Amino acid sequence: MKKTSIIDVMTKNVVCVSPEQHLLDVKHIYEKDKFHHHIPVTQNEKLVGMVSLIDFMYNIAGAGMNDNNEIYQKLKVKDIMTQKPFYLKTDATIEEVANVLVEGNYHAIPVIENDKIVGIVSTADLIKHFLVEAL
């Protein structure tokens, strides 16, 4: 059986934020249509953290949808992000990423090459791949 590279299934146009951005920017990203996975946090093009929807929702509890709520300007990404996130390198296979995702600790994993983020792979990316393979 051919080993399929993670590069073949990952999302390549990754939306990232910096640690200094306000939560309002994260809110606007999550409000975009069809955006449902974690947001990598980069500084000087290097992965330094991740923000999950759960991290975001927990920290804005009660803030509502109004952009003017003070919490969106008070908190920054660095205040809520998970530091030192798990990642895979571009030489990983989809079998490896599937084994990590099935454990349930992650729903999206950043992909790194030469210390720079080049993609992110989510459970949805794998499902799409396996559906195409099955047809």
Task: Give tens-digit pLDDT for 42-76.
Answer: 999 899 999 998 999 999 988 888 999 999 999 99
- Which pLDDT score is estimated for 2? 62
- Which pLDDT score is estimated for 1? 47
Number of domains in the chain: 1
For residue 128, being part of any structural domain is answered with: yes
3-state secondary structure of 55: helix
For residue 83, being part of any structural domain is answered with: yes
For residue 1, being part of any structural domain is answered with: no
- Tokens matching residue 68: 């003017």
For residue 59, being part of any structural domain is answered with: yes
For residue 108, being part of any structural domain is answered with: yes
Q: What pTM did the predictor assign? A: 0.89
- Which pLDDT score is estimated for 33? 67
For residue 103, being part of any structural domain is answered with: yes
Burial of 40 (0-12, 13-18, 19+ CB in 10 A): buried
- Tokens matching residue 81: 């992000």
CB 47 within 8 A of CB 17: no
* Nearest in space to 79 (alpha carbons), one of 19, 27, 15, 135: 19
Residue 117 structural domain: 6-134
CATH number of domain containing 89: 3.10.580.10
For residue 33, being part of any structural domain is answered with: yes
Specify the residue for token string 């990232």.
16
Tell me: pLDDT of 103 over 80. yes
Tens-digit pLDDT profile for residues 4-33:
899 999 999 899 999 999 999 999 999 986
* Nearest in space to 44 (alpha carbons), one of 75, 83, 18, 81: 18
CB 38 within 8 A of CB 108: yes
Across the chain, what does the average pLDDT equal?
Answer: 91
CB 20 within 8 A of CB 77: yes
